[in-house]
A and B are shown apart, each in its own frame.
Chain A
Amino acid sequence: MTKSINITLKVWRQKGLHVKGGFETYPATDISTDMSFLEMIDVVNEQLTLDGKDPIAFDHDCREGICGMCGAVINGRSHGPEKGTTLCQLHMRHFSNGDTIVIEPWRAKAFPIVKDLVVNRSAFDQIILAGGYISVNTGGAPDANSIPIAQEIAELAMDAAACIGCGACVAACPNASAMLFTGAKISQLALLPQGKPEAANRALAMVRKMDELCFGNCSNERECEAECPKEISISNIARLNREFIEAGLVSAVK
């Protein structure tokens, strides 16, 4: 049943990368429990605007959990307390009247702050452009059914490909590692026969790029897997490691 709750927000406010930030407290009153978390922030922002204050900046777009644009740390959890849920799909019915909710941006050296809850995740694009693709030009492909792929393999590749690139894994990791993100892409392409020719090159290039961009190392904390809104498995990190070691030791690629 729909009901209304009153809550208090403690929100990280920061005007820009080189400006000191801090928490501000805002009341959020008469919040319908049917609202999504972002709709709740909309309501607070409407009020801030009418009060002549600067509304809270936050990234969001599709609001159906697939674009990967939204994300914030809610009471210490990436995308909030619900498992397998993006922030836009988190609903206020999971909170109680009188709660205080702390909202912070993703915090990682590789994700510099733009404003308030908005961060720059272009490092993820950099990792992909280091090798997260199959080198095929438009027009030259053989018939789609010329390469049969076992159903289980296609499903495994799809599990990895479900990553939305939101950055929750990096925010959740104590080392701010991007291993889950990178592992998911390397896995997807290494599992498929189309991706095999470049597998060694890809693994080396993407991992090197990841290190270069100041992402931390993986120390098997498994926080990434726990907080991933698409529940990407850390077995993808294991596959990344295998691909990387194999590429470094036995492949022709240097």
Chain B
Amino acid sequence: MQLHAKTPSGPLAEKWDKHRFELKLVNPANKRKYTIIVVGTGLAGGSAAASLGELGYYVKNFCIQDSPRRAHSIAAQGGINAAKNYPNDGDSIWRLFYDTIKGGDFRAREANVYRLAQVSNNIIDHCVAQGIPFAREYGGLLANRSFGGAQVSRTFYARGQTGQQLLLGAYSSLMRQVAVGQVSMFPRREMLDIVVVNGQTRGIVVRNLITGEIESHAADAVVLCTGGYANVFYLSTNAMASNVSATFRAYKKGALFANPCYTQIHPTCIPVHGTYQSKLTLMSESLRNDGRVWVPKTPGDKRPPNQIPESERDYYLEEKYPSFGNLVPRDVASRNAKAQCDMGKGVGETGFAVYLDFADPIKRDGKEVIQQKYGNLFQMYEKITASNPYETPMMIYPASHYVMGGLWVDYNLMSNLDGLFVMGEANFSDHGANRLGASALMQGLADGYFVIPYTIGGYLAGTDRPEITTDHPAFKEATHYMTERTRKLLSINGKRTVDDIHRQLGHILWEYCGMSRNDDGLLKARKLIQELREEFWKNARVPGSSEDFNQSLERAGRVADFLEFAELLVIDAFERKESCGGHFNEAYQTEEHEAMRDDENFCHVAAWEYKGDDNDPELHKEPLVFENVELTQRSYK
């Protein structure tokens, strides 16, 4: 299979303009004849459904929660990047583009990332017009702050709830379209499969989570905005219902899955405290501006932190990276925390935590200043741990947070299946092997507000699609397959709960395919995943029926998909014989234990094609060509 990224020719800065001109247009009168399905109502899905509705398309929008306002984009704390250069500190579209490409360890497509930087400014304009209460300076103009991986202040924010405010903005625009009948909302629906007819994606089947009914919906195109798969690790900062099912079902229908091994482990999360823990909570990375990371010098030192004298503390990040200190990028900070704990120097009840200490900044600036900067975070920390970070150092540990991998898409954000578009975290396109802070919100909204409205028109105007209804055999087939699968899940009647098996899957991946990977571990993980999958289908217990509200059944379907997807993740990690961004193979590191890329052999996107349950997937490579930036080794010394 030949992968066509369909990147327009011409100079980088002119590609998007040129492409927009070349894309065919749909006559306004014809738009209302087209139905577009959007799955997901996060920043990408909500903004896409609203914008497509405004243009005049008829949109069917689906979400698993009870309301489109609850998608997990809502939990993003820090902010959203844009190249406005309001602070006059040297920012530009080119700089935002370059920072993002470099932050992704040179594993993203230049043209996509440049477009992202270009439309970033339109996003801020639109969001302000929607009434999003961004932080302001005294003079009434918008405030900016700094974030990781950049030397300019380009992050716009609304307290620690930027994701919430942006999502509610998209939701309000969406509701406006629902009110005028351009968008129909289908909440509490889970996508079970896509329906492909004559090579074109023409609809989906979903489970109505209230009644259990499997419903069919036909359309002219389908847009998946179903988020990331970080919950494959069981414990992550994602919401409980975040899953891989929609993208994985599309993969099994022929869509290529790209770079699944690029997973981001965030360094500053509240550590795991017990086996019953259901999720991990992120503490914003802004804390590392002042907090100092340390562990005791002596392994096994169990003294309380205030009894460990200065001379017996190891400030390992400051020691090892004198110029970046505690502000090294996420992947580097995470790996170092793990290394310290593996040496037995971890702290807390489990030994899997390091201190993030504010004693020095409090002494230097006073408690009030620290409170002003981080008050809400300190409060959240205390609520969860019952420990006061003004008096005792915080304990933190890395946690699975975001995934850069996703379905392969071309420049138009269309997968290799005609009519199947994929946006936001669900696609692979913009963050390479590592995402910078405040860039996920930017990408989701760029895709939904400013890319898909153009590119989907080009597709619809440029293709012939026969008239199709949900009576088509392809819908019956998908419905039948899913009904059978549900029946099978409910009839296993084994002795282990689905959560119990999911937790074990998480352990396997965290151990062998987490922050640091090696070939032996990956081979072992693959075998363990196969065994666990077998056990799931023999020994899981899924109570209840398929004909009502059954949350256990919802989870079982998702975990069944995670158990298959996990193997693909491991296969991809095994195949990538280099270290880059979030993927660290111990065999490929510099003398200072930093990630070492192999640009000669691995400067490509790894896109996997499903070849049946009993066969290995087939690897297709899309070479990454860099015409505008020079590939360099990242260094933070």
Contact = CB atoms under 8 A, between A and B. Distances in A.
Interface string A130-147: 101111111111111101
A192 B449 CA distance: 23
B133 A188 contact: yes
Interface string B145-167: 00000000000001101011100
Given A55-B551, A61-B240, A68-B70, A42 B278 contact: yes
Contacts of B70: 61-62, 67-69, 165
B315 interface: no
B576 interface: no
Given A16-B548, A46-B497, A194-B128, A61 B67 contact: no
Contacts of B179: 129-130
A38 B171 CA distance: 27
A138 B449 CA distance: 6
Nearest to B139: A148
B621 to A, nearest CB: 36
Contact of A188 (B65, B131, B279): B131
Contacts of B47: 138
B50 A143 contact: no
A197 to B, nearest CB: 11
B130 interface: yes
Interface in B217-251: 237, 239-241
Nearest to B277: A39
A115 B552 CA distance: 13
B481 to A, nearest CB: 26
Contacts of B450: 138-139
B435 to A, nearest CB: 19
A161 B273 contact: no
Given A61-B65, A61-B72, A39 B278 contact: yes
B130 A134 contact: yes
A125 B278 contact: no
B62 interface: no
B164 A66 contact: yes
B1 interface: no
Interface in A70-103: 85, 89, 91, 93
Contact of B551 (A57, A121, A141, A150): A57
Contacts of A165: 67, 69-70
A115 B86 CA distance: 51
Given A141-B126, A189-B131, A125 B549 contact: no
Contacts of B141: 145, 148
Nearest to B496: A50
Q: How large is the interface on B (under 10, 10 to 19, 20 to 34, 35 or more residues)?
A: 35 or more
B386 A91 contact: yes
A118 interface: yes
B536 to A, nearest CB: 15
Interface-centre pick from B54, B86, B179 (highest chain A CB count, 10 A):
B179
B51 interface: yes
Interface stretch (A151-159, A171-179, A217-225, A243-251): A151-159
A36 to B, nearest CB: 8
A54 B544 contact: yes
Interface of A: 2, 15-16, 32, 34-36, 38-39, 42-43, 46, 49-50, 52-55, 57, 59-69, 85, 89, 91, 93, 114-115, 118, 120-122, 124-125, 128-130, 132-145, 147-151, 154-155, 157-158, 161-162, 164-165, 188-189, 192, 194-195
30 contacts: A34-B385, A34-B386, A35-B276, A46-B497, A52-B543, A53-B543, A55-B552, A57-B551, A61-B240, A62-B75, A63-B240, A64-B279, A66-B161, A68-B70, A91-B383, A93-B386, A115-B548, A128-B171, A130-B179, A136-B126, A137-B54, A139-B126, A144-B125, A144-B142, A148-B139, A149-B136, A151-B136, A157-B133, A165-B69, A189-B131
Chain A to chain B: the 5 pairs with minimum beta-carbon distance, closest first: A148-B140, A133-B172, A141-B129, A129-B175, A141-B125
